Amino acid sequence: MRKLSVLACTVTAMAAATLTPAAASAWAPAGSATIHPGVMTFTNGAQCTSNFVFTNGSNVYLGQAAHCSGTGAATDTNGCDSHSLPIGTPVKVTGANKPGTLVYNSWITMQARGETNANACAYNDLALVKINPADVSKVNPSVPGFGGPTGVGTVGGLGSTVYSYGNSELRGGVTKLSPKQGVIVQNQGNGWSHNVYTATPGVPGDSGSGFMNASGKAIGVLSTVELAPAPASNNFGDIAKEIAYMHANSSFAGAHLVAGTKPFNPSLVSAILGS
């Protein structure tokens, strides 16, 4: 059966390594940080949800989906032929006083190198936004509600439990709908993509939000809302593969995902009540 997917934005690791700060004091306290996984990003009007925090030791980055800077239609999901705003594009980051800057985009990188791997073209959907140095003191890498991530991990088989935090404005600011728990229903694209059902499902504006496995390890980046053959499900790109691609094919070989300062707690009820 033909699959039909749309990008989930709105308009208004080589083995992937994890970098843990030498001390929790390297980051703003989780309870008061205004920039963290799950904050909204706006790229030329396109609204997305950030996934995880990255650093190369000197700069701090926030992950978002590559298609968040796309200039085509919502059905333009192939990163090897879909157009994007250029590197250097300003990105508004909720909680920051100054705009961030788009510094890496997997779509732009794949097109520049003439990528021919069809699975990478279809599912490699990761970008980095550099946080302005004036705002770095406001950053904490912990995922709201759940805590973590505890590193970069693997997805697992069908039925595996996953956790995510979406923040679309379509929820009208009701943050208790942001934490999500779900299950893997299909692995596809030779491991590049994974199809999930979550309660509640990801909606437009949740694009780019991160997924974690039952151990709290980062496993994915929400890419599309599935319309067929599994309506109301979501696809997320495999973040380990996406990070490995970035390391091998860009100047960001030193950029690694940062572990959260709060322990991972897989309780959806606790995440909802604590949000």
CATH of the domain at 232: 2.40.10.10
Q: Is residue 210 part of a domain?
A: yes
How many domains are contained in the chain?
Answer: 1
The pLDDT value given to residue 113: 97
Q: Is residue 205 part of a domain?
A: yes
185 neighbors 233 (Cβ within 8 angstroms): yes
pLDDT of 193 strictly over 80 = yes
Give the chain's mean pLDDT. Answer: 86
Range of the domain at 217: 4-21+35-274
Using pLDDT thresholds of 50, 70 and 90, give the confidence band for residue 256.
Answer: very high
The pLDDT value given to residue 191: 95
Q: Is residue 233 part of a domain?
A: yes
* CA neighbours closer than 13 Å in the CB half-sphere of residue 141: 30
Q: Is residue 30 part of a domain?
A: no
Residue 192 Ramachandran class (φ > 0 left, ψ -120 to 50 alpha, else beta): alpha
Instruction: Describe the crossing of helices 239-249 and 106-113 by its angle, rounded to 10 degrees.
Output: 50
Computed on alpha carbons and rounded to an integer, the radius of gyration of the chain in Å comes to: 16
Q: Which residue has the higher pLDDT, 90 or 45?
A: 90
Using pLDDT thresholds of 50, 70 and 90, give the confidence band for residue 4.
Answer: very low
pTM metric for this prediction = 0.88
The pLDDT value given to residue 169: 62
What's the CA gap between 95 and 93, in Å, rounded? 6
Return the structure tokens found at 123: 């599912």
The pLDDT value given to residue 198: 82
The pLDDT value given to residue 2: 32
Q: Is residue 122 part of a domain?
A: yes
Instruction: Look at 46-55, 173-182, 257-266 and tell me which has the smallest mean pLDDT.
Output: 173-182
Q: Is residue 26 part of a domain?
A: no
The pLDDT value given to residue 151: 97
Q: Is residue 28 part of a domain?
A: no
What's the CA gap between 275 and 268, in Å, rounded? 10
pLDDT of 202 strictly over 60 = no
Q: Is residue 47 part of a domain?
A: yes
pLDDT of 199 strictly over 80 = no
